[in-house]
Chain A
């Protein structure tokens, strides 16, 4: 199985900050990397798919980069509604696997 490792596991940031979350795959997954946002008590929602494609309706302050084994999710100018947990997920093969999550908290 492909292991997905996210860092950091949590971070504190202020509104307006730039936030970067990284995700590393245990093998080459090309660009089959997706990012989800989850708020407490809710199902996850996709933000970025195929490493860098912004899902329809997602604000442009979210962006993704990377290919192969190393990926990043960047949130420019963090907004109050962005405080949530973020997960990466590989869709290169089955079983689909997720990173352990990054909780973004208010500083």
Chain B
């Protein structure tokens, strides 16, 4: 059983919008701090956004602040990333990741990723 599965990626034009989802199985997603991490083609890892277990703390990378919104759907045991005003530089594989809750705060579980391509 794969604990995290992303969906919603695809091809979108610059300025367009896209909503990514991350479905959790085997654990209660709302009990953990969850993040989105992206990787542009051939590049390194870039943290994008995080939401704490209580949803009290939400953080965004400067490169996406004001354009992306992270949210949870506890009833569906899932998380979303609403992306708007997309740019070519947002082209990447987007991973959702679960952070440990024991004070070490590393990304212990990752989804398989979903590819977002921003191109005209």
| Chain A residues engaging chain B, CB cutoff 8 angstroms | 1, 32, 34, 36, 38, 43-46, 49-50, 53, 87, 89, 91, 94-101
- Other-chain contact of A44, B45, B59, B100, B104 (Cβ < 8 Å): B45
Q: Is B110 an interface residue (CB 8 A)?
A: yes
Closest A-B pairs by Cβ, 3 of them? A91-B105, A43-B110, A34-B106
A91 touches B50 (CB 8 A): no
Interface string of B60-79 (1 = CB under 8 A from A): 01100000000000000000
Q: Is B31 an interface residue (CB 8 A)?
A: no
Q: Is the CB of A49 within 8 A of B104?
A: yes
B110 touches which one: A44, A53, A97 (CB < 8 A)?
A44
For the complex, is B1 an interface residue (Cβ under 8 Å from A)?
A: no
How many residues belonging to B are interface residues under a CB distance threshold of 8 Å?
22
- Write the chain B residue with the least CB distance to A92: B105
A43 touches B106 (CB 8 A): no
Q: Report Cα–Cα, A1/B47, bound state, in Å.
A: 12
Which one of A43, A50, A96 lies within 8 Å of B113 (CB-CB)? A43
Which chain A residues lie closer than 8 Å to B44 at the CB level? 87, 98-101
B82 interfacial by beta-carbon distance below 8 Å? no
B41 to chain A, nearest CB (A): 11
Distance in angstroms from A66 CB to nearest chain B CB is 15
A89, B106: Cβ atoms closer than 8 Å: yes
Contacts of B72-106 to chain A: CB distance below 8 A: 95, 99-100, 104-106
**Would you list 6 pairs from A and B whose C-beta atoms are within 8 A, ordered by A residue?**
A43-B110, A44-B95, A46-B107, A50-B104, A94-B57, A100-B44
A101 to B46, CA, bound (A): 11
Given A43-B95, A96-B47, list of 20 further CB < 8 A pairs? A32-B104, A34-B106, A43-B113, A46-B107, A46-B108, A49-B104, A49-B106, A50-B106, A53-B104, A87-B44, A94-B57, A95-B47, A95-B50, A95-B61, A96-B105, A97-B47, A98-B45, A98-B46, A98-B47, A101-B44
